[in-house]
Amino acid sequence: MKDTQQKVQIVVADPSALGLFGLAMVTLVASSQKLGFTTGLSFVIPWAILLGSVAQMIACVYDFKHNNLFGATVFGAYGLFWTGVAASWLIKMGVFGPALAAAADVKQLGIAFLGYFIFSIFATIAATETTKVLFVTMVFIDVLLGCLALDALGIGGHWAHGMAAWAELVTAILSLYAAGATFLNKFFGKQFLPLGKPLGIFK
């Protein structure tokens, strides 16, 4: 008896605009705190969880359905990043009790930032085959994560925090543009706003 295989693909819309919007909003709100435009983390945490994390995780799942390895991996990694960051902030603020808050070592967060920085370098290389806007966004994410790692590890002084803040703001602006451009381009079925062709360095 001959074996037959049948593949069924469920058609879903491109989730990239939602994922990019989630990235844009959380980095916009978080950078406002780092730059001193706003104070405290209380109102940053909901955006970190609900947009920075949830929106990007939704995009991750549907990009896997699209067989989009880049989008699925990057949205998934950064979506989980914001869950980890928000949980770390909650621990530091004493939400889970004074014992956890007292035992918090910010250098462990620095190690996590370092790991994400290394991953982001790989993602930036892959981004050369996406769009110019996304590639430049990834470069600023590299700067953000590298400087966050230095700041949390106590290396480099205050300049690292300042660089991270401005890199995060630029990331927010670029991501917001990319989200809008992707949404309009897909909606109208043509180039409504340019994103730039792939650099094609490695292909």
**Residue 11 belongs to some domain of the structure:** no
Would the pLDDT of 6 be above 90? no
Number of independent structural domains in the chain: 1
| 47-84: pLDDT as tens digits | 999 999 999 999 999 999 999 999 999 999 999 999 99
Of the candidates 155, 192, 195, 179, the one whose C-alpha atom is nearest the C-alpha of residue 28 is: 179
Q: What is the predicted pLDDT for the residue at 126?
A: 97
| 155-169: pLDDT as tens digits | 977 899 999 999 999
**Residue 2 belongs to some domain of the structure:** no
**Residue 8 belongs to some domain of the structure:** no
Of the candidates 178, 185, 180, the one whose C-alpha atom is nearest the C-alpha of residue 133 is: 178
Least confident range of 7-11, 130-134, 173-177: 7-11
**Residue 203 belongs to some domain of the structure:** no
CATH number at residue 94: 1.25.40
**Residue 4 belongs to some domain of the structure:** no
Token pair for 39: 């104070």
**Residue 168 belongs to some domain of the structure:** yes
**Residue 201 belongs to some domain of the structure:** no
Q: What is the predicted pLDDT for the residue at 146?
A: 97
Q: Is the whole-model pTM more than 0.75?
A: yes
| 113-136: pLDDT as tens digits | 999 999 999 999 999 999 999 999
**Residue 34 belongs to some domain of the structure:** yes
Full residue range of the structural domain in which residue 62 is found: 16-188
What is the band of 203 on the pLDDT scale with cuts at 50, 70, 90?
confident
Q: What is the predicted pLDDT for the residue at 11?
A: 76
